[in-house]
Amino acid sequence: MSLLVVGSVAYDGIETPFGKTEKILGGSATYLSLAASYFAKNINLVGVVGRDFADEDIDVLKSRAIDLEGLQVDNSGDTFFWSGKYHYDLNNRDTLDTQLNVFERFDPVIPEKYRDSRYVALGNIEPSLQEKVLEQVASPGLVVMDTMNFWIEGTPDALKQTLKRVDLLVINDSEARELAEEPNLIKAADKVRAMGPESLIIKKGEHGALLFTGDEIFSAPAYPVIDIFDPTGAGDTFMGGLLGWLAYTNDLTPNNMRKAVVFGSVMASFCVEEFGPGRLRSLNEKQIYDRYREFRRLSQIPEVD
Residues interacting with its own copies, by CB under 8 A? Answer: 88-91, 177, 183-187, 204, 206-208, 210, 217-222, 224-226, 228, 255-256, 258-259, 262, 289, 292-293, 295-296, 298-304
Q: Which long-range contacts (CB under 8 A, 24 or more apart) does 144-148 make?
A: 144/119, 144/120, 144/168, 144/169, 144/170, 144/239, 144/242, 144/243, 145/121, 145/169, 145/170, 145/197, 146/28, 146/122, 146/170, 146/171, 146/235, 146/236, 146/239, 147/171, 147/175, 148/124, 148/175
Judged by beta carbon, residue 105 or residue 207, the one nearer its own copies is 207
Smallest gap from Cβ 124 to its own copies, in A, equals 23
Question: How many angstroms separate the CA atoms of 305 and 301, rounded?
Answer: 13
Question: How many angstroms separate the CA atoms of 178 and 217, rounded?
Answer: 20
Question: How many angstroms separate the CA atoms of 138 and 3, rounded?
Answer: 13
Judged by beta carbon, residue 55 or residue 303, the one nearer its own copies is 303
Question: How many angstroms separate the CA atoms of 155 and 149, rounded?
Answer: 10
Question: How many angstroms separate the CA atoms of 9 and 45, rounded?
Answer: 10
Judged by beta carbon, residue 71 or residue 176, the one nearer its own copies is 176
Give the distance from CA 273 to its chain's centroid.
17
Smallest gap from Cβ 18 to its own copies, in A, equals 11
Smallest gap from Cβ 223 to its own copies, in A, equals 9
Q: Any bridge partners for residue 169, and if so which?
A: 145, 200
Judged by beta carbon, residue 77 or residue 205, the one nearer its own copies is 205
Smallest gap from Cβ 98 to its own copies, in A, equals 26
Smallest gap from Cβ 305 to its own copies, in A, equals 9
Smallest gap from Cβ 280 to its own copies, in A, equals 20
Phi, psi of 67 (to 5 degrees): -75, 130
Judged by beta carbon, residue 75 or residue 299, the one nearer its own copies is 299
Residue partners of 243: CB distance under 8 A and separation at least 6: 3, 5, 32, 36, 40, 119, 121, 144, 260
Smallest gap from Cβ 150 to its own copies, in A, equals 22
Judged by beta carbon, residue 26 or residue 264, the one nearer its own copies is 264
